Each structure stands twice: as structure tokens, then as C-alpha cells.
């Protein structure tokens, strides 16, 4: 048996706009998906998911995931979860030149499904790494990131970006703009996450932004403005030694990053991807004294990320109607971990 884990993520800036070639900055967090893989003697794949914020399921199939588990959650989330596992299997088979390889796969995750914390990317990254190693064909981290992106792009019908999968594979804070992906230095960010217990439909939300962008010029301008926020934020995350941000101490830099997160949330709200519960959590964090707060991920429900080194935001979120869970999220310095 081979075991790998990969982290989830929060976006400081740039979700949705990154789909159109604008830059984005996600940060890996220490909430992980763990995938255990054992090779079989036939070409079947048996998947057990013990915790994907579902009731848990087991399904065995050959060739494709046409058989869906019977669980009491939206069908789109179950289909997406199975689709990512299926795509990871196909990438592993291709990498190892083993088209008929079969696997027993167990998925455990600390990352809520569809909540904007990168659960699909983490499962895909960990799955590709574990399956290729189980076949005796370990591949470099950069190839894992690339193959995970291709898997996500296939499931999302070409609407994925490299941001989530690259961040999950390499860890830390990363900058992604089109095919240009790299790690960046960042201060020790005091990230607090609020979760409303729900999930957005990524495909539907991305399609909605695309429709706005095609219909209204100012929506297209909004996408570009989000890109400008990312470029400004980079100056405070990883300042040029000769630039003005280099004169600020770490606390002042984090304060500026928070202000830019506030701007970013407002623009995402204008694109129709926020929700009442997300906005309530954002305002609760701001009123508690957070440096900034915004939704993270596709939106429509799920999670917000705030910056606050004090306990005030965490406490406020736990008493905010509609917030089911709040926790502090440490930056994950490493991405995929090879456990066995």
C-alpha cells in the first residue's frame, strides 16, 4: 500500500479572474486529504471515501465511474468527487504506462467538499502521487501538479486553472498566472476560516461569471481589476527590496494585504458569486477587527478567509448565525507528502 497526502488552500486574491489569465495567489493550509492506494490483480477500481463531508461511500467499477454511490448529498458533488478520483487514476495509469492497472483506493479528508478550500485538488494531487508510486513509477512534484491540473481541467470541461493543483502539490504561498506558476515568500499569515456548512457548484458559478463577462463590458473590467489587486498584493507579500513595501514591518504588510482582500471580496460579490452566509461571515470578521476578509474559492456557499492574529475573529465567527465551523489555518509549508 502507498499513502500520500496533500493540503487544501485558501485564496488571498484572484479566484475566478485566474480562469481568464489574470494572476492569483492561493496559500496551502494544514487541512489535508490523504489517499491510500493498493494495486489490484485486475483492472477494476474500488473507491472508499470515509470522510468527504459526505456520509461516506464505497463503489467498485471497471473502465468508468458510471455507478454512483447512494448518499444523501447533492448529486453534483458526488459526481464531481468521483470524477476527480477517476481522472487521477487515468493520469496515474498514463504516467506509469499501465493502462490496465487496477486499484483499491481509500480517501480520507479534513477538507469540506465543495467549500472553496481545494478538496478536489488535494484529492487529485495525493491520488496521482500515491497511485504512480504504487505502480513503481514515482514522478516529480512538477509533473504531479501538471497532471493534476489536466485531471481537473477534464472534469471541469476546460474551465480549471493551475492555481489549486499547483498550490496543493508544492505547498506554501504561490503565484499563478496562466501557465506561469511559482512559489513566493510570504509573511506568517494569521488566517482564520469560517465555514457555513454549504457548498457552491463550481461549474455553475464559473459559467455565471463567464456569462456576465460576455454580456457586460464592466464585468470584464472587474476581472481585470481583480488582477490589479493581485499584482498590488504581491508587493506586500514578497516586497521588492527597493520598493516602498520594503519599508513596512510585517504587521503593516499584513494590514495592507487585508485591505486588498476586502476590495477583492467586493468585486467577487459584484460578479454574483458571494452569498448571504458568506457576506455575514465576512462582516462578522471585519467588525471583530480582522485586517480583511473575503470568500475563498468558487463561492456560492462554503468558506471565507480572514486575517486576524487575535482570537476576536475566531470567537465572532463561532457566534455568527450561519457559520457552522470556524478554525485557525496554519500555512502548509510543504505540499504533497509521501507517507508510505
Q: Mind telling me the catalytic residues?
A: 164
Q: What is the distance between the alpha carbons of residues 258 and 277, in angstroms, rounded to a whole number?
A: 20
Q: For residue 39, which of 111, 135, 106, 174 has the smallest C-alpha distance?
A: 135
CA distances for 134 relative to 101, 122, 231, 236, 337, angstroms: 10, 18, 40, 42, 14
Q: Any idea of the CA torsion for 207, 25, 245, 193, to the nearest 10 degrees?
A: 90
Between strands 337-338 and 2-13, the pairing is: antiparallel
What backbone phi and psi angles, to 5 degrees, belong to 239?
A: -70, 145
Question: What are the DSSP calls for 75-125, one per residue?
Answer: HHHHHHHHHHHHHHHHHHHHHTT-TT--EEEEEEESS-TTSSS-HHHHHHH
Amino acid at each position: 500500500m502507498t499513502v500520500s497526502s496533500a493540503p487544501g488552500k485558501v485564496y488571498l486574491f484572484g479566484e475566478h479572474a485566474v480562469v481568464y489569465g489574470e494572476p492569483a495567489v492561493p496559500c496551502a493550509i494544514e487541512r489535508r486529504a490523504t489517499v491510500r492506494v493498493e494495486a489490484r490483480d485486475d483492472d477494476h477500481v474500488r473507491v472508499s471515501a470515509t470522510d468527504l463531508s459526505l456520509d461516506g461511500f464505497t463503489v467498485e467499477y471497471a473502465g468508468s465511474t458510471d455507478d454512483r454511490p447512494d448518499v444523501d448529498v447533492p448529486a453534483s458533488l458526488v459526481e464531481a468527487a468521483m470524477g476527480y478520483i477517476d481522472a487521477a487514476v487515468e493520469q496515474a495509469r498514463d504516467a506509469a504506462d499501465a493502462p490496465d492497472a487496477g486499484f483499491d483506493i481509500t480517501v480520507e479528508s479534513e477538507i469540506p467538499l465543495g467549500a472553496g478550500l481545494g478538496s478536489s485538488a488535494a484529492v487529485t494531487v495525493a491520488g496521482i502521487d500515491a497511485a504512480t508510486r504504487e505502480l513503481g513509477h514515482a514522478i516529480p512534484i512538477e509533473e504531479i501538479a501538471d497532471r493534476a491540473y489536466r485531471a481537473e481541467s477534464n472534469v471541469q470541461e476546460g474551465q480549471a486553472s493551475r492555481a489549486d493543483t499547483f498550490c496543493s502539490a508544492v505547498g506554501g504561498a504561490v503565484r499563478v498566472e496562466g501557465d506561469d506558476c511559482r512559489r513566493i515568500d510570504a509573511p506568517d499569515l494569521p488566517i482564520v476560516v469560517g465555514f457555513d456548512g454549504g457548498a457552491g457548484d463550481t461549474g455553475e458559478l464559473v459559467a455565471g461569471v463567464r456569462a456576465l463577462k460576455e454580456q457586460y463590458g464592466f464585468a470584464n473590467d472587474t476581472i481585470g481589476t481583480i488582477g490589479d489587486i493581485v499584482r498590488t498584493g504581491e508587493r506586500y507579500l514578497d516586497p521588492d527590496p527597493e520598493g516602498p513595501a520594503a519599508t513596512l514591518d510585517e504587521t503593516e504588510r499584513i494590514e495592507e494585504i487585508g485591505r486588498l482582500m476586502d476590495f477583492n471580496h467586493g468585486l467577487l460579490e459584484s460578479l454574483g458569486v458571494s452569498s448571504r452566509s458568506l457576506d455575514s461571515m465576512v462582516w462578522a470578521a471585519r467588525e471583530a477587527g480582522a485586517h480583511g476578509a473575503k470568500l475563498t474559492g468558487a463561492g456560492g456557499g462554503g468558506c471565507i478567509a480572514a486575517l486576524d492574529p487575535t482570537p476576536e475573529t475566531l470567537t465572532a465567527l463561532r457566534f455568527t448565525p450561519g457559520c457552522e465551523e470556524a478554525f485557525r489555518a496554519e500555512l502548509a509549508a510543504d505540499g504533497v507528502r509521501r507517507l508510505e
